[in-house]
Amino acid sequence: MSAPGDRFVKRRHDAPEGFFEVEAAGLRWLAVPGGAAIVEPLDVSPTHLTLPRLHPVAPSSRAADEFGQHLASTHDAGARHYGVPPDDWETDGYIGTIGLPHTLDPIKSWGEFYANLRVRPYVRAAYDHGTIDEHHLDVFERFCRRLETGMYDDPSDQPARIHGDLWSGNVVWSTDGVHLIDPAAHGGHRETDLAMLGLFGMPQLERVLHAYDEAHPLTDGWRDRVGLHRVHPLLTHVVMFGASYVPQAVAMAHKYC
């Protein structure tokens, strides 16, 4: 990577097909009026993505409040259905360095989407790689079956326009407010982004969540479902980084079986 002048260039000469293009599509899709500030893609090719260079500053309470409010507006922009890719993109995407399944066909419920596009593909990959065993497989399958019953669905909420990989490293506190980078954007559940914010810790998190809840009141019990939404990112870490993440992922899934 290089950052000449006021631009930041991400390069990868061995990038898989669509790696930078779907990121750019996601950034454009997330940039909605009144929403969270999104870094603007300036130039994209199969081997690079050029972005404006951000100038990080210390997190502030005011920026946290504004970010929470704006993130709610981003989510409220909505998506056609769960699992839908960003506009102008019709195939799968990426989260980190691995694939992220999308679907152009509507899925009946969030639970069905989460089980079949966000849990089972990564469980299968981890099992095939020998990272998880039959016991782990059984826990994750029971978790998926529970999801498919609909017990964690919220019929009052509609598919949200989510960042999809909103850990603290993808939240840049800059001189002109918080900017989001490196999305795995798709139609999903608003609680997924909020759960991801705190997975590895984030400054001013409670202020962000409070401001979000004021802008768009969250469904009762959302804090009890934080772990539910962390199973997928933990599984992606199992696939990318190995067995050290297995105990946490299994324990989280077991809690909701």
Say what the pLDDT of residue 155 is.
Answer: 84
Output the pTM of the full model.
0.95
CA 252 to chain centre: 17
Cβ atoms 21, 44 nearer than 8 A:
yes
Cβ atoms 47, 17 nearer than 8 A:
no
| 9-38 pLDDT tens trace | 999 999 999 999 999 999 999 999 999 999
Please classify residue 130 by burial: count the beta carbons closer than 10 Å to its beta carbon, then call 0-12 exposed, 13-18 middle and 19+ buried. Answer: exposed
| 99-120 pLDDT tens trace | 999 999 999 999 999 999 999 9
Low-confidence ranges of the chain (pLDDT < 50): 1-3
Ordered by start, the domain boundaries in the chain are: 55-255
Beta bridge partners, 179, equal 37, 172
User: Alpha-carbon distance 210 to 157, whole Å?
Assistant: 19
CATH number of 55-255: 3.90.1200.10
DSSP, res 60 = -
SS3 204: coil
Cβ atoms 50, 108 nearer than 8 A:
no
Say what the pLDDT of residue 1 is.
Answer: 38
Say what the pLDDT of residue 3 is.
Answer: 42
Beta bridge partners, 7, equal 52
Say what the pLDDT of residue 5 is.
Answer: 64
